[in-house]
Structure 1
Amino acid sequence: MKRILFVCTGNTCRSPMAEALFRAKAADGQWEVRSAGVAAFDGQPASPQVLQVLAERGIEHDHQARRLNDEMVAWADLILTMTQGHKAMIQGMFPGAAEKVFTLREFVGVEGMSDIADPFGGTVEDYRRCAEEIEESLDRLFDKFTG
């Protein structure tokens, strides 16, 4: 079983969306998926816009934010971040894990802009666009793993 950890800043927008969207795609039981934030406040719910966008896709996600820690880093086979900044921060905080940390877009081979913009504070449409960006990368990720 492969263990994937998605990471963003507060673990209330992008990484919970990535976690829920990937889990919905990979319902075959071959994957364990979690999410965390480099500056998360433990226990915060996902933003209402995230829950709305996921519900529009038929996905329920009961989420509580978690701050990235040693245990999560050790658990993960692969850590996929939403930005280069998150990647650099994790590699600085957990140098022993540097070889398993990538931005999501970098890992799946998206050329150019490697960051997925934070929709925090934006409209539901901003969250929909973010979900589409994440989903496009997750489709590539799933293809990469399943051949």
Structure 2
Amino acid sequence: MRILFVCTGNTCRSPMAEGMMRKLARERNIGVEVRSAGVAAAKGMSISHHAEAVLREQGIGDRILSTPLHEELVEWADLILALTESHKRQIIYTFPEAADKIYTLKEYAQDDPAVLAEREELQRLAADLELDRALGKKPDEAAQRRLAELLQRMPGYDISDPFGGSRGEYDRTAAEIRNALMKILDKLEQDRFGGRASG
């Protein structure tokens, strides 16, 4: 499994996710290749001082340099995990052919059956309403109301941005990322032992 983490500049959140995922997967003997990139990254920049300190504290000394998101990376990845909803939208807009393998990190890590069921219903309703609109049909008002209700109930899937913040903010962001990564590794482990990992 090849996983690509994507944030804005590829100097804070996505490199922390890359370094942590590589180490956690190795500790659990789960075979993943991991890379990261940024939707607005400059090539070859060092990761932020605080991000490096967070990783070093966890025993991660990987040398990660910023990489702009590009087509070859998108093709390389089996799974693309954006750090926020806006990153996800931007990647899908730029690489629509890869839309089926693009999620936010927290969305892919989501393991609450009730939330997963509501998310499935939301996607189905949105597709039905879009089809009705394309066919020139009058939109179903009950379906529109239900869609609005589901959208309000969906949890937020953004990982907080520590850029320019204190070391404490980086620690909190790293904890958010680590929590999501652990859930994803649990899914990959279930998949490996015969269960099915669901996005």
Check whether TM > 0.5: yes
Q: 2:162 aligns with which of 112, 115, 119?
A: 119
Task: Determine what percentage of the aligned residue pairs are the same residue.
Answer: 49
Size of the alignment, in residue pairs? 146
Equivalent position amino acid for 1:4 in 2: I
Distance 1:38 1:117 in 2: 17
Whether 1:90 and 2:133 are equivalent positions in the alignment is no
Query: How far is 1:29 from its partner?
Result: 6.2
TM-score, normalised to structure 2's length? 0.72
Equivalent position amino acid for 1:97 in 2: A
Distance 1:142 1:6 in 2: 15
Residues 28-53 of structure 1 deviation map (CA, whole Å, 9 limit, x = unaligned): 36110000000000000000100111
Whether 1:22 and 2:65 are equivalent positions in the alignment is no
Q: Say which SS state the counterpart of residue 63 (structure 2) adopts.
A: coil
Q: Say which SS state the counterpart of residue 65 (structure 2) adopts.
A: coil
- RCO higher in structure (CA 8 A, sep ≥6): 1
Structure 1 runs (4+) deviating above 2 angstroms are none
Partner of 2:108: 107
Contact 1:51/1:61 (8 A) holds in 2: no
Q: Say which SS state the counterpart of residue 33 (structure 1) adopts.
A: strand
Residues 23-82 of structure 1 deviation map (CA, whole Å, 9 limit, x = unaligned): 001113611000000000000000010011111111112111000000000000000000
Query: How far is 1:102 from its partner?
Result: 0.2
Contact 2:84/2:158 (8 A) holds in 1: yes
Distance 1:58 1:20 in 2: 10
Distance 2:60 2:51 in 1: 11
Gaps of 5+ in 2: 116-154, 191-199
Q: Say which SS state the counterpart of residue 21 (structure 1) adopts.
A: helix
Q: Say which SS state the counterpart of residue 52 (structure 2) adopts.
A: helix
Contact 2:30/2:189 (8 A) holds in 1: no
Q: Say which SS state the counterpart of residue 117 (structure 1) adopts.
A: coil
Q: Say which SS state the counterpart of residue 41 (structure 1) adopts.
A: coil
Equivalent position amino acid for 2:75 in 1: A
The structure whose residues are more often helix, as a share, is: 2
